[in-house]
Amino acid sequence: MQVAKRRYWPRGMPSTDIVGQVEALRGSHFTMKKTTDDGNTIFACAYRDLKVKAFISSCGTTSLVGYKNIVEPNGSVTGIKRPQIVSEYEEHKELCRHSE
C-alpha cells in the first residue's frame, strides 16, 4: 500500500471517535478503515505522543520515495519532501489495529 495525503477529514469517520479510542499510554495507536462510495479505501490513524495526533491516508498512486513532484497550474514542477511520519507509517503499518 502506498500513502497519499488527504486535505479533508472523510465522512463517516468522526475525529472524536478515533481520538477517543487511543489509550492513555504514550505510543498507543488506533486505525480506522473506510471504503468510500467510489471504491477507494481511506485510513485514519491516531497515535499518542505527548497528545493525540491523527493523520489520514489513502491507497493512492504515489511512489515510495522521499519526495513527490507536483505540476503547478502554470506548468512548472515543484518537488515536495515527504514528511518523516509518512515514511514511518509505511515502515510500521502492520503493527496497527484495524477495525471495520
Residue pLDDT, tens place only, 69-88? 778 889 888 877 766 666 66
Beta bridge partners of 67: 81
Q: 67 CB contacts (<8 Å, ≥6 apart)?
A: 79, 80, 81, 82
The DSSP result for 6-30, as a single string, is -SSPPTT--HHHHHHHS-SSTT-EE
- Is the entire prediction scored with pTM above 0.75? no
Residue pLDDT, tens place only, 38-79? 777 777 777 787 777 777 776 555 455 667 677 888 988 887
**Which residue carries 513532484 as its cell?**
69
- The span from the CA of 68 to the CA of 32, in Å, is 25
**Which residue carries 484495524 as its cell?**
98
Identify which has the larger pLDDT, 89 or 13: 89
